[in-house]
Chain A
């Protein structure tokens, strides 16, 4: 009994922290419609800043609390700076570009922290006055956690008062409903947006700073915090503050419950609930989204005028020039093993694999209009499918290369059936949830998947064991895959997919079953990602759960967006640029993330349509209305 109460209180304490991070994210999204990937980084900065400030002020009550508040204020000010310097320029850009820009910030902040604080974990002092513990039902419980439990509801009440009892709050609520109207009423929305961003950043910083007596400041906290915050915001309903609170409580308690239960034996089968903590929040999110597509307290998002996807050019089927260019690239790639170094061949295999992965992601992001945050799941299913069939079923490598992608396609068929019922950010989050579930199965099922170590000895058959032979196999598979995807793009099915994205109303009125079309697209994309995954496994000789981690999904997104989401060759160029940049920078500096992030920011601000998208706009043909069509969002700005 006592331990259950203690776990319940633990759950409340972590719910408070979750709420502080998530509520800022939700507030920012509600007003600016920006999904701030860097919110977890702001939380992490809060922790580091609090550590340094308390260190400087000394561990007195004044020093501690001054350090905590000071850190939160610093992070809030940084939020305002980021909003003014970067985000303000891209409010009218397609949603995905905003996402890419905030992701670039994640990279830059991560390396800035590494540079300033170093790679070691930093453990802060205990809170003066709250260092001890109190006995609850005879068990000691930290006083500081009791304090944290009170902070969540306190912040909720203060925010409610701010939003409902002040003029500023009224404007914020109005902007959440219809920001264009607020602008039309003569409110200076610029400062409103800056204010909201600063407030959201302040709350994230506060959430981080308050953690200082509980956990050390660590470098990976940015990504774990953002994924927790995303889950809470989505489960609660995007933009809903009470929803965020409710969801934080729900997830905090369920996690605590899993830890408390430990291993339970039901009917002779031991179920380890503590292992579930890694993934339980994603299971909750998946269930909530399947039952309530807009979260617990969310509403369908208000229509946003004039800020949708960039207007796309009518796709031009490949002409003779394009076919020749394709053949020339293929010929150059075929000549690489003879002309290049062995290292170049290895790097080229990586680039080819990621080109196919990015092309498969582009297929659902572009024509089908579905943004996936979890595409790595299908890359991973292909890799694990092939490796397990080789190692556990003893099938020949050649057969596993065909069957691995089939596993990925089956996974995509299962998850896709739920995914296509949603849209926008909610759809993206459900793909993330499924990816995390698959990842945690691979990560924890030691006996079958090799757990966190993964599988080794995943080598191709003898005739493919040379790097050159494997390179040609990869080249053949990737070239065939890319060709097929292009072919489908210009087929009646590809057109129908685009029709459903362009105008669901019209598509429905001419007999198209959009849900079914999208589901098929999801399966196709899953299968091709599976091919890339299977090839990746055999090229390295081993696989680990890393192949389907969130960061892999994000890499894919960055490649597609770098190249330009509405261009067919974009993902190929994006994958090549990204893989090559990462490889080159990582070999020369410790701070490759910052350089990559800065490069992405530059591209986002200078080429809002991606590299290939921008080239196409410059070279655009006049007869099909290209220049007007391609400058989509820039034109709307005027």
Chain B
């Protein structure tokens, strides 16, 4: 199915950012539809992370527009973007080390339900079932009581996914969701993500270095090189694209 046929969740137009004269991202445009997994790939230094961080407000673009469900979100802080229904996972997992797995998810739920200003109730008793359902969904229910500081890395990634789902997002932004994981775990995590995306009709944008993961799970792929978009389309088309092959073979040739 092409993006046009789906309801557009995220629409990016002519996004640009330069750092001291270096064009990190130049005139990039794309869209992600509901229920779609869009992969953003490219060699090192192509501008993927910059592009990504502009989408949720961590970096402010020089020009261009980012619309979420038709609403312009450029200039909003990450926390405001989150309130509009954007979940985020990080390349290096970011969880709360002093809390248990369940409490990490409860924390996100407390924020989602706008309860962080209450001083009296016991936080650990609030939204417990809701947190457990999310943990169940990502296969972490059995470890709900463990401290995040002692989890295996692959399990932390699952916790992050549960946290990212806590605000019932329309869009998930996943920066290298499988980085640092063993090959078997990678496939399992992406299969799980794809399943959740389909059942909830989420839109997902992810960056990834593992081409197996990309070509197995992405509905569409966009390719970034030196800040500009050089290809976009279905996996088979992108795989056959001459420029993409040159970029990848080229970068492989250099090391």
Provide the residues of chain B in CB contact with A312, threshold 8 Å: 97-98
Query: Does B191 have its Cβ within 8 Å of any Cβ on chain A?
Result: no
Query: Does A629 have its Cβ within 8 Å of any Cβ on chain B?
Result: yes
In the bound complex, do residue A492 and residue B121 qualify as a contact, i.e. CB atoms below 8 Å apart?
A: yes
Q: Among residues 498 to 512 in chain A, which have CB atoms less than 8 Å away from a CB atom of chain B?
A: 498-499, 501-503, 505-512
Known: A490-B122, A492-B118. A506 touches B90 (CB 8 A): yes
In the bound complex, do residue A493 and residue B124 qualify as a contact, i.e. CB atoms below 8 Å apart?
A: no
Q: Which of A487, A501, A502 has the most CB of B within 10 A?
A: A502
Among candidates B111, B119, B120, residue contacting A510 with C-beta atoms closer than 8 Å = B111
CB within 8 Å of B: which residues of A? Answer: 311-315, 317, 487-488, 490-496, 498-499, 501-503, 505-513, 517, 566, 623-625, 628-629
A-binding segment of B20-28, B102-110, B177-185, B213-221? B102-110
What's the Cα separation between A312 and B96 when bound, in Å? 10
Sample of 17 further A-B pairs with CB below 8 A, known A495-B110, A503-B96, A511-B83: A315-B98, A490-B123, A491-B121, A491-B122, A492-B110, A493-B118, A499-B107, A501-B98, A502-B98, A503-B97, A505-B90, A508-B79, A510-B82, A510-B108, A511-B111, A566-B98, A629-B147
Query: Does B246 have its Cβ within 8 Å of any Cβ on chain A?
Result: no
CB within 8 Å of A: which residues of B? Answer: 56, 77-80, 82-83, 88, 90, 94-100, 103, 106-108, 110-112, 115-124, 126, 145-147, 149-150, 163, 166-167
Chain A nearest CB from B169 CB (Å) reads 11
In the bound complex, do residue B116 and residue A496 qualify as a contact, i.e. CB atoms below 8 Å apart?
A: yes
Among candidates A311, A501, A506, A624, residue contacting B100 with C-beta atoms closer than 8 Å = A624
In the bound complex, do residue A496 and residue B110 qualify as a contact, i.e. CB atoms below 8 Å apart?
A: yes
Can you offer 17 A-B residue contacts whose CB atoms are under 8 A? A317-B124, A492-B126, A493-B117, A495-B99, A495-B103, A496-B110, A498-B98, A498-B99, A503-B97, A506-B94, A507-B96, A508-B78, A509-B78, A510-B107, A510-B108, A511-B83, A623-B145
Minimum CB distance partner of B112 in chain A = A511
Provide the residues of chain A in CB contact with B90, threshold 8 Å: 505-506, 509
Minimum CB distance partner of B151 in chain A = A625
Chain B nearest CB from A359 CB (Å) reads 16
Provide the residues of chain A in CB contact with B111, threshold 8 Å: 496, 510-512
Provide the residues of chain A in CB contact with B117, threshold 8 Å: 492-493
Chain A nearest CB from B223 CB (Å) reads 26
Minimum CB distance partner of A312 in chain B = B98
What's the Cα separation between A625 and B145 when bound, in Å? 9
What's the Cα separation between A190 and B78 when bound, in Å? 42
Minimum CB distance partner of B163 in chain A = A510
Chain A nearest CB from B49 CB (Å) reads 13
What's the Cα separation between A490 and B110 when bound, in Å? 13
In the bound complex, do residue B147 and residue A509 qualify as a contact, i.e. CB atoms below 8 Å apart?
A: no
Minimum CB distance partner of B115 in chain A = A492
